[in-house]
Amino acid sequence: MTNKKRILSVAILIVLLLGLFGFLEKGRPQAELGLIATPKIFAHRGAMDRFNESTITSYKIASEEKVDALELDLRMTKDHALIVMHDETIDRTTNCTGRVSNLSLWEIKSCFTIGEYNGEITTEEVPTIDEVFQTFGSKQKYYIETRLVYGEAVMEERLVKVLLAHHLLDKEQVAVQSFSEESLEKMAAIAPQLQLTLLFKEGEFDIEKALEVDYPVVGLEATDVTEEVVNALHRQGKEIHVFFNDHENMEQQQERMKKLNIDGYYTDNIIFTKRLLSK
């Protein structure tokens, strides 16, 4: 084969490969624009990369970063006080042990959270939701997660009373999220003005359910997010808020979420997420 024929053959092959690549790309789903111009940043348990999670100091650091909302997890004590605590027990984050629902507020207040940052041990008491509102008031927005207590929706009425007491029963100030549809249904009944988010556990995302429920926002774990999921939810006018369980790969996952045009990030690293979204 002459050089001229070789060159022609290679050129034809390249054109065919480019054409095939273009065909495949055309058939591949493309991420559509998000529903909001600038994605929201939610301080997941405060600034937990710099201080003990779910503490007043952690939330103060996050508030100074001008996040869109402070993300708080609620647990109810034996005497029906609402504390800010992610886990079912206080074992992981404090110097005490026990299930929150089996302990009184006094017992929990006798303990303190423990962390280690920059080689130093940090301690601070577990706050109530009332103390968080006393600290920040209407100067800050809140994204609050409710959950069932022994299988029952009992913390919702207490939460609404506290919100009313602090003049925060306003969708511009507060949004409520939950993995429990029962909890969200109760919130919708007693505080219909608040925005509600249905959360899905990692690996349990159900696109059909997410599309059929009335809630305007869906929350899911990063590994369950695909272009098909994002496009389907956006076409139905639903915002997509994403949390990240794999801390080691959080930055890479957030970069992927940016390409998919999601609407909100529950972030453990506010500085990184703000820098990413500003690019």
- Active-site residues: which are they? 44, 86
Q: In terms of Cα–Cα distance, which of 258, 256, 223, 220 is closest to 240? A: 220
Interacting residues of 236 by C-beta distance below 8 A, sequence separation 6+ = 211
CB 146 within 8 A of CB 176: yes
If DSSP codes are grouped into helix, strand and coil, which group holds residue 175?
strand
Cα separation of the two ends of the chain: 51
Q: What is the Cα–Cα distance from 201 to 221, expressed in whole angstroms? A: 7
Residue 218 host element (H or E):
strand 217-221
Rounded distance between C-alpha atoms, residue 118 and residue 66, angstroms: 23
| Token output for 279 | 């690019």
Comparing C-alpha atoms, which of 48, 55, 69 is closest to residue 132?
A: 55
Judge contact between 74 and 84, C-beta under 8 A.
yes
Q: For helices 270-278 and 250-260, what crossing angle results, to 10°?
A: 30
Backbone angles phi, psi at 56, to 5 degrees: -60, -45
